[in-house]
Structure 1
Amino acid sequence: MSVRFSIVIPVFNAEKTIERCVKSVLLQNYTDYEVILVNDGSTDKTGKILNNFLKTSEKLILKEQNNRGPGLARNAGIERASGEYIIFIDSDDYIDEGYFEALDNIIKLENSDVIFIDAVQEKIDGKIICKEKISKFANYSKKLLIRCQMTGKIPWGGWRKVTRRSIIINNKIFYSDDEVGEEAIFSFECLRNARKISFLNSEYYHYVNYPSSQSKKGNDDPWGPVYLRMKNYLIENLLFEEYQKTIQSFSVTALTASLYRLASINTFEETKEKLREKVKDLEKNCKVSVDWRSLNKANKFLYPFYMLHLYNVLVLLAKGYCNLNKYEKNKNFSS
């Protein structure tokens, strides 16, 4: 029996957070939904907690699988879903009452295929870090939205947008099994195949920033493999010429992510030497200018420094950023 929304929650070792997450869904006033909990091989008490929840609501569906990562767990949820729209919620996050009703209202008003959502990013103790206002991009054209999503100027994350299920199924759009950036091509294709893209400009979603969150994973070049995968995908699907400048912009974003990682684990000289090699690779692959509008402010600022080989300045900036983050973490811990 079809429902309006299928809520897909991938779960792995989330015994400390999954109860709040699921309760926040079940407390919604809007009732035309199902919840698909994908237990991705948890080894803690998560399984027991999920099974206890099953006794409390007929809306809950539990799918068990061996650990395959968040991307494939979301795919499993999509395959089981029957709803008209797919909503992703991460197991360590939660939502405010009224979220589903607000989504339903905007869908009725605009017949949306994809709805971007605003969110509150907060610390474990509930202190607000920032408000993510993706709705500030609402006046962008579809082409520019796609390009900004490709480079990460519009943040990735399955939970940041709600998608009509037929868009996903009919176009065979799936998450990859990668540790980082598993949603890159998924997001690209969802937007590319959408006719109407909408924005929910209220912060119903709470993204809780944990030290071990998915965004912290990867080596000293977390987005480098994502760039290569996206580039190859564009070439294979005869889309490279159309998005060549944008994928070049994404390589700058990937370089900046690598710079910060390098600065956090290496000495000044080691960081500078490794950065020099990465800039050489960037210049080697740079056949066209970047797509300036798809870069965020930080990368627009840093790009000339890369091109002018001002490595000392770049490493100083990265080291300063890392030290500031360490200071904030220590201050929060001591307080």
Structure 2
Amino acid sequence: MIKLSICIPVYNDHHDLKALLLKLKQQIKENNYECYSEIIIVDDGSESETKQNLEKIKSELEMKNFNLLYNSHNIGLLKTRNKLIENSFGSHIVFIDSGDTIKQSYIFEIKNAIEEMVATNSSIAIFGMEIKKPYTNKIDEILKNHEKTIKKSNEGLLDYSKQVHFKSHTVTKIINKKMYEDEELYFDENQNGKFEDARHVFKWIGSATNILYIPEVLYVYIKQSSSLSSINNHDLKKEHDLLQAFQIFNNYIENLNLTYDLKMKILSFYKINTYIDLAHLFKSSECEIYEKQVNGFRKKIHLKDYCTFYMDSEIKFRRKMQLGYHWYKSVKHTLHMKRIK
């Protein structure tokens, strides 16, 4: 029985893929997991050179349960991920991006986590990740859970809203494939644009029976020049996509059967993090952030004056952020909240 499907979408990016697959092969063998795991790659209409290299890599690796599929043309990441899910045979799924890599204990910890997920009736497990700059070994940031714990979906959504910068990544999740019996939990193929993970992952958390949080850091995310924290210029398209992701999350939470106070807490934390992410996109010397309102008006927010958001209590949080030309590596903000009338 296949317990783990390792799903890898590829598009014109094969240079680091062989090294990743060699790591997976070695770890799978070391953990005697050949009969319990599979690797699925879907090439999303890449150029002929990439396809030739993929076939060459497959023949050289000689791996059991290795499936290489091709899209006839480029259909996009979300449709490709859905194709990976549909063609997987494992009871649990993980995603790896072809330009990233994994830690030495990845398969060992995933294997143990799956056993614990079964024992605790957990639909999702969340593990930690390193963020590195390309072509260097310099760690830019480490995002991880502080302890091993199990939470219900309501607690998971609150935790997600506090740490959306970390918890929204698809590649830090182990997903029980039974969740995809609900077609709503597939990737919405109409939601194209940046921040595609932030438009979908919260639905998995909100639909989970239990969520297993693992403190180990297992994934290495290679930060590309197009990522949010690497943007050097004002990017209106990214602003639009980020605010749209916020609106999708807001609508989802509003329609859940949660208490009013819990909804306000979840939405307030998420809104705070959205403003902070917008600060990366709007790096003016005055630290100004703009929020597009539904009615078309624009409201100016000044982070340096400590924004006023909607909530009942005072919240302290810490997050690395870039404003203007300066890095504030350990910025503490005390945000004063007030209830929505």
Band of TM-score, shorter chain: 0.7 to 0.9
Give the Cα separation in 2 of the matches to 1:6 and 1:233: 28
For the residue of structure 1 that corresponds to 2:80, the secondary structure is helix
Give the Cα separation in 1 of the matches to 2:55 and 2:312: 50
Give the Cα separation in 2 of the matches to 1:87 and 1:58: 18
Instruction: Report if the CA contact (8 A) 2:243-2:274 is conserved.
Output: yes
Instruction: Report if the CA contact (8 A) 1:116-1:199 is conserved.
Output: yes
Instruction: Report if the CA contact (8 A) 1:244-1:288 is conserved.
Output: yes
Name the counterpart of 1:75. Answer: 82
Name the counterpart of 1:61. Answer: 67
For the residue of structure 1 that corresponds to 2:311, the secondary structure is coil
Q: Are positions 1:123 and 2:130 aligned together?
A: no
Question: Deviations 1:287-318 (Å, cap 9, x if unpaired)?
Answer: 9527866x84249xx9xxxxxxxxxxxxxx72
Q: Any residues of structure 2 matched to 1:136-155 within 5 Å, and which?
A: 136=147, 138=149, 142-150=153-161, 152=164, 154-155=166-167
What letter corresponds to residue 67 of structure 2 in structure 1? I
Give the Cα separation in 1 of the matches to 2:129 and 2:289: 38
For the residue of structure 2 that corresponds to 1:184, the secondary structure is helix
Shift in Å, 1:110: 4.8
What letter corresponds to residue 60 of structure 1 in structure 2? F
What letter corresponds to residue 178 of structure 2 in structure 1? S
Instruction: Report if the CA contact (8 A) 2:117-2:123 is conserved.
Output: no
Shift in Å, 1:214: 7.5
Structure 1 unmatched ranges of 5 or more:
281-285, 303-316, 325-335
Give the Cα separation in 2 of the matches to 1:49 and 1:171: 34
Give the Cα separation in 2 of the matches to 1:77 and 1:26: 19
Give the Cα separation in 2 of the matches to 1:323 and 1:25: 37
TM-score where L is the length of structure 2: 0.73
Structure 2 unmatched ranges of 5 or more:
232-236, 293-297, 302-307, 330-341
Distance verdict in 2 for CA 1:202–1:238, change over 3 Å: closer
Q: Are positions 1:51 and 2:55 aligned together?
A: yes
Q: Which moved more, 1:77-86 or 1:40-49?
A: 40-49
Distance verdict in 2 for CA 1:3–1:205, change over 3 Å: same
Name the counterpart of 1:251. Answer: 271
Q: Any residues of structure 2 matched to 1:175-254 within 5 Å, and which?
A: 175-176=187-188, 177-213=191-227, 218-235=237-254, 243-254=263-274
TM-score where L is the length of structure 1: 0.75
Give the Cα separation in 2 of the matches to 1:273 and 1:98: 41
Shift in Å, 1:38: 1.5
Instruction: Report if the CA contact (8 A) 1:246-1:290 is conserved.
Output: no
% identical equivalent positions? 19
Cα RMSD (Å): 3.6
Distance verdict in 2 for CA 1:212–1:254, change over 3 Å: same
Instruction: Report if the CA contact (8 A) 2:152-2:211 is conserved.
Output: no
Shift in Å, 1:87: 0.8
Shift in Å, 1:171: 5.6
Match of residue 169, structure 1, among 181, 200, 216: 181
Q: Which has the higher strand share?
A: 2
Instruction: Report if the CA contact (8 A) 1:117-1:135 is conserved.
Output: no
Shift in Å, 1:252: 2.7
Shift in Å, 1:153: 5.3
Q: Are positions 1:318 and 2:340 aligned together?
A: no
